[in-house]
Amino acid sequence: MELDYEYFKREVYKITQIDLNAYKEKQMKRRIDTLILRHHLTGYESFVSCLKNDKEVLEEFVNYLTINVSEFYRNPDQWRILEKDIIPLLSERFGSGIKIWSAACSTGDEPYTLAMVFSDKPGRSDFSIYATDIDKQVLDQAKSGIYPKKALSDLPKEYKDKYFSTENDATFKVDPSLRKYIRFEKHNLLLDPFPKNQHLIVCRNVLIYFTEEAKEAIFEKFYDSLAPGGVLFLGSTEQMINYKKIGYERKASFFFEKPL
Ligand SMILES: C[S@@+](CC[C@H](N)C(=O)[O-])C[C@H]1O[C@@H](n2cnc3c(N)ncnc32)[C@H](O)[C@@H]1O
């Protein structure tokens, strides 16, 4: 008899430590079924044995499951608020040693954008970015610093001119000088400890895949992770309705502060 999704979730956790219980089930099942069909397998049981025996299929599975579309300066209006209002506030509060965490950073478009907007302002060259994701493949891509043209379509021209060189007709390379600000590391938001004393946490376009309970627990852990006066920057797809209950104050759309 074909084993069910409960069995599949347990096996996936053993193999990858990804807890599918925390992800919205309908969406996940649809993606998993697509992969099973793509590999001409018959169901969860044969897929599990394939995941155990074939490293490439396993990497493909994690990569496919975790949906890693990203781009530079994604949702420009929100980045403008960061540049105009939030960076000056953080600089005033924390001086030049600003600690930033780009959580679920995918292919690195987000942490490199952070490095650009922070290093572009005079006197702010002393900051560090901890850039994490659960998916090793996207982190390897991020470290290479090579991007398709379309990833840059929302990035203001002055940043493009300053921080990119053309690789070939279809790709650009980000200025390697930005790499020194960024430490890329594998990190699972549902399992690993969160760093402490962060001044800015950027977590965008990932919590949408999680259940309400998982999302709530992460918002609380981000709160603990922030230094007083630190700011959480969310994406348009993340909604934090009960932010007051946790202790946050809203600074602007998508920006939440842990009060001083
Ligand atoms: C759509 S991308 C968002 C990238 C970037 N933050 C942005 O807004 O453009 C979602 C990322 O979340 C990552 N992700 C999914 N589940 C995760 C988890 N449990 N822990 C850490 N990262 C996770 C995926 O690997 C993927 O790279």
Q: Which residue is it, tokens 């600074």?
A: 251
Instruction: Give the CA angle between residues 145, 151, 155 to the nearest 5°.
Output: 100
Count of structural domains within the chain: 2
- Are residue 61 and residue 80 in the same domain, yes or no? no
- pLDDT value of residue 62: 87
The CA distance from 28 to 214, in Å, is 15
What is the average pLDDT value for the chain, to the nearest integer? 92
- Are residue 197 and residue 241 in the same domain, yes or no? yes
- pLDDT value of residue 169: 82
Token couple for 228? 């007083």
Strand-strand pairing, 249-252 and 198-203: unpaired
Q: Which residues pair with 233 in a beta bridge?
A: 202, 255
- Are residue 60 and residue 88 in the same domain, yes or no? no
- pLDDT value of residue 14: 94
- Are residue 80 and residue 29 in the same domain, yes or no? no
- Closest-CA residue, ligand 1 atom 16, reads 66
Q: Which residue is it, tokens 């490293």?
A: 55
- Are residue 29 and residue 156 in the same domain, yes or no? no
The CA distance from 88 to 240, in Å, is 24
Taking each continuous run of H as one helix and of E as one strand, the counts in the chain are 11, 10
Residues composing the chain: 260
Helix (H) or strand (E) holding 141: helix 136-144
The CA distance from 256 to 66, in Å, is 25
- Are residue 18 and residue 147 in the same domain, yes or no? no
- pLDDT value of residue 66: 77
Q: What is the pLDDT of residues 86-133, one digit of tens each?
A: 999 999 999 878 999 999 999 999 999 999 999 887 666 689 999 999
Q: Using most ligand atoms within 8 A of CB, pick from 24, 28, 72, 106 the residue to mutate for ligand 1.
A: 106
- pLDDT value of residue 120: 81
- pLDDT value of residue 1: 40
- Are residue 84 and residue 59 in the same domain, yes or no? no
The beta strand positions in the chain, using DSSP E, are 98-103, 127-133, 146-148, 164-166, 171-174, 182-186, 198-203, 226-234, 249-252, 255-257
Pick out the chain residues at pLDDT < 50.
1
- Are residue 141 and residue 24 in the same domain, yes or no? no
Q: Which residue is it, tokens 């993340």?
A: 238
- Closest-CA residue, ligand 1 atom 15, reads 66
Ligand 1 centroid – CA 92 distance (Å):
30
- Closest-CA residue, ligand 1 atom 26, reads 68
Spatial contact of 69 and 105, defined as CB atoms under 8 Å apart: no
In sequence order, the 6+-apart residues with CB closer than 8 A to the CB of 16 are 58, 61, 62
Residue 120's closest CA among 167, 70, 74, 175? 175
For residue 154, tell me if it sits in a domain.
yes
For residue 70, tell me if it sits in a domain.
no
- pLDDT value of residue 104: 97
- Are residue 134 and residue 228 in the same domain, yes or no? yes
Distance of CA 185 to the CA centre of its chain: 11
Q: Which residue is it, tokens 């979730």?
A: 9
- pLDDT value of residue 63: 83
- Are residue 42 and residue 117 in the same domain, yes or no? no
- Closest-CA residue, ligand 1 atom 17, reads 134
Backbone phi and psi for residue 225, each to the nearest 5 degrees, phi listed first: -75, -25
Give ligand 1 pocket residues (Cβ under 6 A): 66-70, 74, 104-106, 109-110, 133-135, 138, 187-190, 204-206, 235
Domain membership of residue 140 as a residue range: 76-257
Ligand 1 centroid – CA 66 distance (Å):
6
Ligand 1 centroid – CA 131 distance (Å):
11
For residue 151, tell me if it sits in a domain.
yes
The last residue of one of the domains, among 38, 65, 92, is 65
